[in-house]
Amino acid sequence: INISVFPPSNACIGRYILNMQITSCGHTYQRCLGDFYVLFNPWCADDPVYMDNQAHREEYVLNEHGILYEGVHKHITSRPWHFGQFEDGILDICLKILDMGASYHHGSDRDHCWRNDPVHVSMVVNHMISSHTTNSIMKIPENNDYLKGTKPFSWNGSVPILQQWYNGRCRPVRYGYCGSLASVMCTVMRCLGIPSRVVTNFCFPCSIENPLGINEIFDCTGKNLCGKDKLWRYHCWNESWMARRDLNQCCGDWQCLDPTPLETGRGSACSGPTWVRSIREGELDLDYDGHHVFSRVNSNYVGWLSQNNAKKTKFFCDTWPCGQHLITKSVGSEQFEDITGTYKYELGSVKNKEAYYRAYRRIHPGYCNASNCHIERELSSLKNPFLSDSGINMRLKMANCPMYGEDVQLHWLLENLRSENKNLKFNLCAQIITYSGCPMDQFWKDSVNVTLGPREVKKIPLCISYSQYGPYLCDHNIMKVVAVSDPECGELLMVSRDIVVNRPPVIVKLLSQPRLKVPCTAEISFCNPLQEDMKNCVMTLEGCGLFKEPMTIDLGTLASNQQARTIVEFTPYRLGSHRLLANLGCHKF
């Protein structure tokens, strides 16, 4: 007997058992024919996750390989990620996640009716990633302390994380960061049939007191002080494609889902789903957490000087709006796609201002009847004065793209805009900054007296040696260089630059052509670029369809400029496009 099952488009997703009842000679008995799974179907026009573009379906549902974008907005770095949604056992793990999170909205899972709604399914998955009190999939380390778990940046893919959670009786995996959380959620959503992608937002504000303002405070040496507000250098979240029947949408569109618990003033919480188009239009009353998402792509940055008497004064500095660059992996390409325009209109345009005023009135109820001019005056009073208003222009420009072990070279450009001499004294410093905006060690300081003639332009070279920053960089490969004028000079001037130090590459070379169920070899090589030993070197290899579980190779200690070569053998166990990932960890990073 051949049996075809055609579930309706509003069927609840999950695992079903198919029984056959047989009546013969007055006797009735049942026979189990097997089980089957029902998932959301983006190929079906009646399904709420329907996506009409085949290339997009292949990218956002079928593709197991992704790219995470990190760094800072002026220096974007990338690294590959294995989603692995088709690996053995992953579908059962994803359904287990729904079982564990079923009580999030409904108190009981006796009726599974919510499982046919991608909105409620996405909310449950979003909550389960890191917000569930006891059974969340992954934890974020507190105070950057991850000694009792795995380094957050050492993961290459979602499969080991999900397997560790499932095999560990659904206890949280330690530890992750926003990129791994968003990627794991992307894996779960794609596995359930919901088109999804990981988005990176550069200059991401996390402010408790002022939703549309982010404050960074510095002392007179240029040191970034740890305040309540945090300016994340980047932040990753998830976008999923679905028609929002709760918003009367008849067609699918991208919805923002952020599984990273962030402080909101009323405790930490994940956010979404939020219709991306409602953010661009400033229509914050339509959706879940709209005001949170809007503020995270539209807040204004303000830089302050804190002096000994605790008085704070605004700098003259050229600031930027937060959320100025949002990107994701392009369809069918290894390049990134700039999707900033889906979240906000072009800065300064009429539509951008109208959306901002509309959102401002919803975030600040006291301004619900205020005119646009009133709101604009209020916003202008909160911003930093421009550097040009002081008669000086400054910027820090990179002279090289430093690799771990190399000196950092910068050019400090100054221009006198006035027809009179300028005599200024500046304090300079460099400081480690985590990706989440936490200031760490200040490892370099200097003072410079600068004299600028009328309309003079001057270029001053700056160098920070590896011996100065190397002992402090660790896993955090971002540093901040700041120049502030001495308060005794009068006007307070500030210029800063975030710098990414690239990690040395690991080179993977295939030595034979991969064939299904035929052993294949690859050469993994790495050279220690430092003028010192690299201790506790461990290589982790991973690849969907290539390794059933990650392979770990202990390389021990690598001397300065020593080349390490390792030959590994693996047997591809399923067809498809595969990628071999190699990640090196040591006492330095």
My answer on whether 127 and 239 are in the same domain is yes
Write out the two tokens for 394: 């400054």
What percentage of the chain has pLDDT greater than the value 70? 98
Given 500, 521, 555, which residue is the final one in a domain? 500
526-570: pLDDT as tens digits:
999 988 899 989 999 988 888 888 889 998 999 998 998 999 999
Q: What is d(CA 414, CA 417) in angstroms, rounded to the nearest whole number?
A: 10
My answer on whether 283 and 330 are in the same domain is yes
My answer on whether 309 and 410 are in the same domain is no
Is the predicted pLDDT of residue 272 greater than 80, yes or no?
Answer: yes
Query: Domain limits at 435?
Result: 392-500
- Exactly one of 178, 186, 191, 586 is catalytic; name it: 178
Q: What is d(CA 93, CA 163) in angstroms, rounded to the nearest whole number?
A: 8
Mean pLDDT of 576-587: 85
Higher-confidence residue: 92 or 575?
Answer: 92
Of the candidates 348, 342, 355, 346, the one whose C-alpha atom is nearest the C-alpha of residue 284 is: 355
Q: What is d(CA 369, CA 521) in angstroms, rounded to the nearest whole number?
A: 69
DSSP-derived 3-state class of residue 456: coil
Given 311, 344, 377, which residue is the final one in a domain? 344
Work out the pLDDT band at 266, boundaries 50, 70, 90: low
Q: What is d(CA 394, CA 401) in angstroms, rounded to the nearest whole number?
A: 21
Rg (CA), the chain: 27
Is the predicted pLDDT of residue 513 greater than 80, yes or no?
Answer: yes
How do beta strands 520-527 and 507-510 pair? antiparallel
Whether 474 is in a domain gets the answer: yes
Work out the pLDDT band at 111, boundaries 50, 70, 90: low
Look up 489 and say whether it is catalytic.
no
Q: What is the DSSP letter of 515?
A: B
- pLDDT score of 105: 59
Whether 148 is in a domain gets the answer: yes
- Residue pointed to by tokens 């969907």: 544
Write out the two tokens for 317: 């500095």
Whether 62 is in a domain gets the answer: yes
- pLDDT score of 444: 96
My answer on whether 298 and 402 are in the same domain is no
My answer on whether 108 and 211 are in the same domain is yes
Helical segments of 107-227, H only: 118-130, 159-167, 178-191
CATH code of the domain covering residue 229? 3.90.260.10
- pLDDT score of 164: 96
Q: What is d(CA 37, CA 93) in angstroms, rounded to the nearest whole number?
A: 13
Q: What is d(CA 138, CA 166) in angstroms, rounded to the nearest whole number?
A: 11
125-152: pLDDT as tens digits:
999 999 877 899 999 988 777 778 998 9
How many CB atoms lie under 10 A from the CB of residue 416? 21
387-416: pLDDT as tens digits:
999 999 999 999 999 999 999 999 999 999
353-379: pLDDT as tens digits:
999 999 999 998 889 899 999 999 988
DSSP-derived 3-state class of residue 358: helix
Contacts of 407 (CB under 8 A, 6+ apart): 400, 463, 464, 465, 466
Residue 129 to residues 102, 125, 154, 181, 415, Cα–Cα distance (Å): 13, 6, 18, 7, 50
Is the predicted pLDDT of residue 264 greater than 70, yes or no?
Answer: no
My answer on whether 205 and 108 are in the same domain is yes
My answer on whether 176 and 127 are in the same domain is yes
- Exactly one of 65, 82, 127, 235 is catalytic; name it: 235
- pLDDT score of 309: 67
My answer on whether 181 and 326 are in the same domain is yes
314-323: pLDDT as tens digits:
999 988 778 8
Look up 258 and say whether it is catalytic.
yes
- pLDDT score of 308: 75
Give me the residues paired with residue 237 across strands.
199
Whether 412 is in a domain gets the answer: yes
Whether 479 is in a domain gets the answer: yes
446-502: pLDDT as tens digits:
999 999 999 999 999 999 999 999 999 877 799 999 999 998 888 899 999 999 999
My answer on whether 424 and 485 are in the same domain is yes
CATH code of the domain covering residue 543? 2.60.40.10
- pLDDT score of 579: 86
Whether 239 is in a domain gets the answer: yes
Work out the pLDDT band at 267, boundaries 50, 70, 90: low
| pTM exceeding 0.85 | yes
Whether 35 is in a domain gets the answer: no
- Number of domains making up the chain: 3
- Exactly one of 47, 258, 287, 289 is catalytic; name it: 258
Q: Which helix (H) or strand (E) holds 293?
A: helix 290-298
Look up 65 and say whether it is catalytic.
no
My answer on whether 62 and 82 are in the same domain is yes
My answer on whether 511 and 481 are in the same domain is no
Q: What is d(CA 392, CA 452) in angstroms, rounded to the nearest whole number?
A: 10
Given 441, 470, 500, which residue is the final one in a domain? 500
Whether 364 is in a domain gets the answer: no
